[in-house]
Amino acid sequence: MIVLNKKYFEEILKHSLSHLPNEGCGLLAGTFEGDKKIIKKVYLLTNIDNSPEHFSMDAKEQFDAVKDMRNNDLLLLGNFHSHPSTPARPSDEDKRLAYDKSMSYLILSLEDRKKPVLKSFNIINGEVTEEEIIEGENDNGIC
Amino acid sequence: MLIKVNGKEIELSKGVNISEFLIEQKVEMPEYVTVQINEEIIPKEQFETTIISTGDSVEFLYFMGGGSI
């Protein structure tokens, strides 16, 4: 399961809304507490595809984010992208491009702009399992 | 020779090109890996011709992308 403070959800939402009509994307970093992934920092990245149906993260920004994680003793725990007009479920392309079995893949659906839906998935060899998201209660993302 | 890989120092027995390096590091699906050497992103078509040298700082990560359709 993944623990996400509300403020990080809001960062993801704001970033994704600002990218409409295109998809927004970014990385999630944090630490493990037992089997819980505690998100402690969200990196808002550029979708270089500039597309409402596809995303590719800017590689330079990805490298910068990973180095920042290392400097702050954080681990890369997952990534997120938005679906501007489809539900929060991995597309065939999402499944095909999910190379890292340890990552959480979060999808924010903006299909109903008034009711954004964020879901997290583990994707292993194309097999999708939804992962529970728990809302953290303080700045450290701890429940 | 000593190089840095994703922030950690490692020893390589000899200079290798990026493709050989990714095989040596047992990187799965190297075709989807982006490589940066000394802060410069190396185009994939230069993986065979770019030799990693002593003291280089090598970073690699997986391309991340997808879509909603």
Contact criterion met (CB < 8 Å) for B63 and A56? yes
The dihedrals phi and psi of B30, each to the nearest 5 degrees, come to: -60, -20
* Chain B residues within 8 Å of chain A (Cβ atoms): 6-7, 28-29, 32, 34, 36, 41, 59, 61-69
Q: Is the pLDDT of residue B22 over 60?
A: yes
Chain B: residue whose CA lies nearest to A101: B28
Q: pLDDT of B29-47, one tens digit each? A: 898 999 999 999 999 999 9
Query: What predicted TM-score, i.e. pTM, was given to this entire model?
Result: 0.91
- Output the CA angle A14-A29-A59, nearest 5 degrees: 80
Domain containing B39 — which CATH number?
Answer: 3.10.20.30
Read off the pLDDT band of A143 (50, 70, 90): very low
- By DSSP bridging, strand B65-67 and strand A54-56 are antiparallel
The domain of B58 spans 2-62
With CA atoms as reference, report the closest residue to A38 among A107, A136, A137: A136
Predicted-complex ipTM score: 0.91
* Percent of all residues in chain A with a pLDDT value above 90, rounded to a whole number: 87
Exposure b/e, A10-22, CB count within 10 A at least 16 = b: ebbbebbeebeeb
Number of domains making up chain B:
1
Q: What is the pLDDT of residue A99?
A: 85
Residue A121 and residue A142: Cα distance in Å, rounded?
Answer: 20
Whether residue B21 is contained in a domain is answered as yes
